[in-house]
Chains A and B, each alone.
Chain A
Amino acid sequence: MIIELDAKHKQDLLFLKTLSPEIVNEFCRIGLEFMKSGSNRKLYIGAAQKLNVSPDKIESVIDAITHLFSESSRYLLNENDFNDSLSPLKFEEELVNQLREVYFENRKDIRNVLQEFYPHLDHYSNLEWRLDTQVANRSLGQSINPIYMLKLSTKNGNVEGKGLKEFLLQTDPNNLKHITTELESALMEAKSYENRLIMRNIK
């Protein structure tokens, strides 16, 4: 699997040839930052002044780098594929190695970031529970009614402390048992023979 870069991105990436390794590293860092938290125009202006080019140029180079990294991560390119994808640019080996190192170092993070972009439900994050016994209420005395209080936390995305939701729920012992057995069977399902067969065949 090789990714094909379009002409615009190729042209932007060629700019890296003219830079020293440290500056290429800096570009990669900005590119990764860009993926995690969006563009930062100020950085581009600073860099443009140093390198004596227009901020727009810097921005498009960053764009090209991010595109390269995100596409490679998307297809999980291996070492050779990554090298081959860059080969039309005729980069020196050192530069390719440098880019590849950054790619491998950050691939997991990038994939985590990319995961945020597909439509998905909130994910389970935590469950806290408490067992209460209701002994009386306004309309009824002398009762014994065990109730589980549950606090279910779900999270949207991987960002710390963001997209957290809490649900306060309750249930009775019978329903709790039902829920537990259902979820246990769900777990078993993932380990079932049929399922492993499917997973093995989809590669």
Chain B
Amino acid sequence: MDFDLSEEQRLLKESVDGLLTDAYDFEQRKKYMKEKGGWSRAIWSKLAEQGLLGLPFAESDGGFGAGAVETMIVMEALGKSLVLEPYLATVVIGGGFLRHGGSAAQKAAHIPAIIDGSRTLAFAQLEKGSRYDLSDVTTSAKKKGNGWVIDGEKFVVLNGENADTLIVTARTKGGQRDKTGIGIFLVPADAKGVTRKAYPTQDGLHAADITFTGVEVGADAVIGDPENGLPLIERVVDEARTALCAEAVGLMDESLKTTVEYIKTRKQFGVAIGTFQSLQHRAADMFVALEQARSMSMFATMAADFDNAKERATAIAAAKVQIGKSGKFIGQQSIQLHGGIGMTMEAKIGHYFKRLTMIENTFGDTEYHLRRVSEGGGLV
């Protein structure tokens, strides 16, 4: 039983916090947002230089062989600074598919380019009717010679606008919601038949709806078993959820800090509004919600390594429920305690609230995961 970071992990935290403190305040972020595609290539290069893009990859693949705790540390820091760059899409999700399911050739083709920052990825999974069901797939992949032909539409693909490589889920067999018959494909974003409709998202990130029309890929594009990709998808999405929990803890931590600072300085009736007990107690409840969320983020991080897939899924679902609830409470109360200024684009607090809100609705919302915990037999 040990909740402390190791010496190496502590150094990692210091280095990523240091980088973001220097290069990622709220004003700098506004500039990065205006760059092409909505994020900064210079920052991405800095993340690469510090080795952060190579963290989870095996040393034999050129990475650092770091684990879930290291990803938690980075994601929390990225959350604190409201970072726009596609770490989740590229390193956590894209990297996750390659690490857990990629062939030696696929790893060699993609991992070095991820680590040096020259390539970003996107996970094209969501469909119009699939909502949070990972096995609900209508996009099809049909065999043609040795390769495959992909047809279908994917929506709200995070980093879809900028990604060089897409990881696409497609049905190779069976009906729309069958658990088997789903394949995972590596598709170059500039492949013939891929069209992207890009747009910014509510939280300042960028996504795209992507249409695949007769997109031809080779046999080497398949990650893992083309007829049984779901277990791998579930595993990687569980890691993405875990990473989102950590990002959300960073967002909540900074939201509470910002809000407490604000009510200490904002004066009404001749005194700082933070002297009013109704506001103080709200802030105390936010602290309680944050600590509960932090505990569950750690729980999810540890669960990511559980051997038993069902236990892992239930634990991470439970964490996502706690993060959803705490995030909603802290986000909403942060705006309330800021008052009118909290409603403005100009103040940073609203942007934290928006990112927290979008996280709740990514890879399963609170209700969805509550049902999963309940159906999974619970935690007691």
Do these two chains really belong together in a complex? Answer: no
A residues within 8 Å of B by Cβ?
none
> Which B residues fall within an 8 A CB radius of A?
none
